[in-house]
Amino acid sequence: MEKRKATKCLLLSALILLYRNCLLRMSPKPKHSFDKVSPPGRWRYLFIFLIIAIGGSAFFISGVSAAAYNGTCGDDLTWTLNTDSGVLKISGTGDMYDYFYHSSSELPDWYEYRDSIKTISLDPRMTSIGDCAFYQCTGIQNVAIPNSVTSIGHYAFYRCIALTHVTIGYSVTTIGIGAFEDCTSLASIIIPDSVTNIRTKAFKNCNALASVTLGNRITSIDDSAFISCYNLETVDLSTAADLAVVGANAFGYDTATSLKYGSSIYVPDSDAAALFNETNYYSPYTSLKYVITYNANDDRDDVVRDTVKESVGTFIIAANTFTRTGYTFAGWNSKADGSGKSYAPNDPYSTTRSVTFYAEWVMTPTDDGYGSVTSNVSITTTPEGVTGTFRFSDSPVNVITIDGVIHETASITITEGLPFGVSAPFGQVADTFDITPYSVASMNTSTIFFSIPVSKISDAGFDTRDVTLMHYEDETWVRIPTTLTKVENGNANYTAIINSYSAFAITFSRGVTDIVVEPTPVITPDTPAETPTTAVPTDTPTPTTASTASPVPLFGILAGLGIAAYVRYGRR
């Protein structure tokens, strides 16, 4: 930038000298010398003067249009600012330099143009935001901090009064002292689970903040971190099981510095609640509460949240408000997979922590299925033994094969639904049925071939890899290893090997199905054609000194013409 100024000064000096020479040659002379300058000569000088005037105008216009500045801001980081667009771009890798607010000379080079900065573009390879990096950049409105960044420096966004939204990448662990202090327009911020420490005054005087959710790895909130956020109504720490430190005045301490009247701080348990006292929050305005969450526990995972003051030890479990097509609500459970303790609505519950209840569902029987179907055996004798094959239509099961002792009169009946007293397995169930064999004395192995419409799988929010067969054994549902063999005619076809018969269910569960697919033929052209390649640059582009079209080339041409004309005619 300094070189640019020096170059302009030199060019300006050259222009002044050219103007001066032209004016001297065109100005009135003593009579004996002026008469020697012919009228055509005067027109030549006027022409030269006009060219230089146009060139000078282009020069000064170029000074106005050149709106890009650049420099370095880290060992491997560079910056470019276009004051016309208001975009400050940081490019490169590694940490940003730390700066200081003691004087403008200790702040970033772009500090001089801070009021022009509207947008910050941060390279996804940089690893830190330096101290005072965007200090008092009053025009910034939104910031997205890349996932590569691990720390936000002290006073990094201090007094960015137009900043309304900030998204912090999932690698940040520390938010520095005063990082967002006096960001009076900041309406929302997402603090990821990676953040472990919020330093002193990090969000002091963020008056527009209405709610803040802190991640589950937060361990310390330092002194005055959220002091004077007087519109902050909800602070969600309900998942912060490792919270160990809450500093003095972290959430205010009196009517002037506390959170909004009637606000709540949600804590994970009584240990976290014990970290709060009259020195770090104003209890007449703010309450500590546990969060009671009711989860629909279906493919949508809808939730309803309730709260209870941490000083209240017992509450009544709420009634269910969720609905699920094809299922009946069967109560609440402490675990999503139904293996925890079950509870009924209106049961009393004693707690010293935040808690989640998951809905339990039972499939609703339907009368619009296939009822029951029966198939007689077709016996095949091989050197390895005897195989009985049973074929079905109008049921999910297409074929059952049995290797064992099978009578010629053997049959199998498949009945839709489940036997009395057997509840459907937990989770998303596509079909249930009971298989009963007749005249099968014994079996070594048995294979079930079944199919399910792909549309039925996708409508439930799953794909063909998420289908599995479950078998009811010893009063427990057991998952049977299931293999996807092929997809054709709109149906996904599967196989599963079993060793006994009773109740079965076809269920959806993420990523549990083995896949055996027929290899896709590779078509090789008879004459391979050479494919042109295009080199893809890998280096980071070098910032330019001007990002807008500039009339400097025009000035150079015109100035050159002027100088040439001067040399050609000026000495005559």
pTM of the model: 0.58
Query: Where residue 125 falls among pLDDT bands split at 50, 70, 90?
Result: very high
* Distance, CA of 381 to CA of 373 (rounded, Å): 26
Q: Which two tokens stand for residue 540?
A: 């980071």
Query: Where residue 33 falls among pLDDT bands split at 50, 70, 90?
Result: very low
Q: What is the mean pLDDT of residues 429-446?
A: 89
Q: How many other CB atoms sit within 10 Å of the CB of residue 361?
A: 23
Q: What was the pLDDT predicted at 305?
A: 92
Residue 479 backbone dihedrals phi, psi, to 5 degrees: -80, 125
Share of the chain above pLDDT 90, in %: 58
Distances (CA, A) of 403 to 313, 381, 384, 444, 446: 61, 10, 9, 6, 6
* Distance, CA of 261 to CA of 283 (rounded, Å): 10
Share of the chain above pLDDT 70, in %: 76
* Distance, CA of 299 to CA of 305 (rounded, Å): 18
- Could you give the 3-state DSSP secondary structure of residue 69? strand
Query: Where residue 52 falls among pLDDT bands split at 50, 70, 90?
Result: low
User: What amino acid occupies position 440?
Assistant: V
Task: Report which secondary-structure segment, H or E, holds 186.
Answer: none
- Could you give the 3-state DSSP secondary structure of residue 466? helix
Selected residue with higher pLDDT from 490 and 24: 490
* Distance, CA of 402 to CA of 498 (rounded, Å): 10
Q: Which of 64-68, 359-363, 427-431 has the lowest mean pLDDT?
A: 64-68
Q: How many other CB atoms sit within 10 Å of the CB of residue 542?
A: 9
**Sign of the four-CA dihedral 487, 489, 490, 495:** negative
Q: How many other CB atoms sit within 10 Å of the CB of residue 571?
A: 7
- Reply yes or no on whether the pLDDT at 245 is more than 60: yes
pLDDT in tens, 367-387: 556 788 999 999 888 777 789
pLDDT in tens, 201-242: 999 999 999 999 999 999 999 999 999 999 999 999 999 999
Q: What is the DSSP string of 81-101?
A: EETTTTEEEEEESBPPPP--S
Contact 93, 123 (CB under 8 A): yes
**Sign of the four-CA dihedral 550, 553, 557, 562:** positive
Q: How many other CB atoms sit within 10 Å of the CB of residue 115?
A: 12
Q: What is the mean pLDDT of residues 408-412?
A: 90
Task: Report which secondary-structure segment, H or E, holds 332.
Answer: strand 327-333
Task: Report which secondary-structure segment, H or E, holds 177.
Answer: none
* Distance, CA of 357 to CA of 352 (rounded, Å): 15
How remote is the C-alpha of 267 from its chain's centroid? Answer: 25
Residue 63 backbone dihedrals phi, psi, to 5 degrees: -65, -30
The CATH number of domain 372-515, selected from 2.60.220, 1.25.40, 3.40.50, 2.60.40? 2.60.220
Q: Tokens 């960044």 label which residue?
A: 149
- Could you give the 3-state DSSP secondary structure of residue 560? helix
pLDDT in tens, 146-174: 999 999 999 999 999 999 999 999 999 99
- Could you give the 3-state DSSP secondary structure of residue 6? helix
Selected residue with higher pLDDT from 442 and 306: 306
* Distance, CA of 47 to CA of 55 (rounded, Å): 12
Q: Which of 72-76, 79-83, 348-352, 498-502 has the lowest mean pLDDT?
A: 498-502
Q: What was the pLDDT predicted at 301?
A: 79
pLDDT in tens, 256-305: 999 999 999 999 999 999 999 989 999 999 999 999 999 999 878 799 99
Selected residue with higher pLDDT from 441 and 532: 441
Contact 432, 424 (CB under 8 A): yes
Residue 216 backbone dihedrals phi, psi, to 5 degrees: -80, 0
Domain ranges of the chain: 2-66+548-569, 294-361, 372-515
